[in-house]
Amino acid sequence: MVIAVTTDRSGPRAGFASPGTALLWKAWQESRGRFFSALVLLASVVIYAVVTFHGRTSVLPPVYSVYIWSGLFHYALQGLWALAALVITLGGLRREKATGAASFSLGLPVTRLRLFLIRGALACAEAIALAFLPALLIPILSSFVGESYPLNQALAFGALMSAAGLVIVALGLLLSEIFEGEFTAAATGLCALTTIFLSYKAETLTGWNVFDVMSATSNVDQTTRLLNGSAPWPGLTVCLLVAFGLIFIAGVTIRIRDL
């Protein structure tokens, strides 16, 4: 574990004298490996989908924008982003207790709630980056295969995926504070999320779901699968309210549980 907290302002890490900055750095050190691994995976999926477009036109819709939405924003990229968003939330005091590292974090001159909120803020920032960076690759790479995809559409779908998907980030943060086992939260969250995602895509489960909000299913043109000028505001509002509710429950859990 990298110990970044210090009160010595004369050293090379004098900027870490601020507790908030030090805790943010500590959270980044713990999650950066998962973040970069997820980024490479999502970028690889986008690259593969774009460069193989012309080899798939015999079995998939020939309209490029339809191919991108149905294959990436509504399926592969969306599903893998959801799993990545859950994975980057893993950690926290419950996991540190299981691994025997909680004594260091509990000894810091900050509250347990502040530790959680800083870790949660970083997880949200990483999830947003994981949505935007792969989405930006689509219009960049499209020109190499003789196609084009609007930059504003890629940014819009990246924003929708990350905003509605904050529910998944919040769920991961809550699970990490409920389960003490080192792998319990990961196994529970990943299995549940995968089952729900595939059930909706296979139409085993029907009705309103966060994944349709993430891809703006009801707000895309049925011919081009591009946004028709409006966003799914009611769905986004529900997702954000649920996310804040889950964060609140996690905060209460942290305050009442004995570590």
Residue with tokens 């990483």: 126
Q: Who's near 188: CB < 8 A, 6+ residues apart?
A: 175, 179
Q: Of 255, 215, 254, nearest to 95 (Cα)?
A: 254
Contact 224, 66 (CB under 8 A): yes
Residue 201 has pLDDT above 90, yes or no: yes
Q: What is the pLDDT of residues 30-56, one digit of tens each?
A: 899 999 999 999 999 999 999 998 877
- Quote the pTM value: 0.89
Distance CA 247, CA 240 (A): 11
At 26, the pLDDT band (50, 70, 90 cuts) reads: confident
pLDDT band at 219 (very low <50, low <70, confident <90, very high): very high
Q: What is the pLDDT of residues 98-138, one digit of tens each?
A: 665 566 666 666 788 888 999 999 999 999 999 999 999 99
Angle between helices 233-256 and 151-164 (to 10 degrees): 40
Residue 227's beta-bridge partner residues? 220
Q: How far is the CA of 16 from the CAs of 93, 115, 131, 180, 193, in angstroms?
A: 21, 15, 29, 29, 37
CA separation for the pair 197, 200 (Å, rounded): 5
- Please determine, for residue 204, whether its predicted confidence score (pLDDT) is greater than 80: yes
Radius of gyration of the chain (CA): 20
Q: Determine the pLDDT at residue 229.
A: 83
* Residue 2 pLDDT exceeds 50: no
Structure tokens at 158: 């990246």
How does pLDDT run across 169-186, given as a tens digit for each residue? 999 999 988 887 767 888
| Domain positions in the chain | 33-256
Which pLDDT band holds residue 92 (cuts at 50, 70, 90)? confident
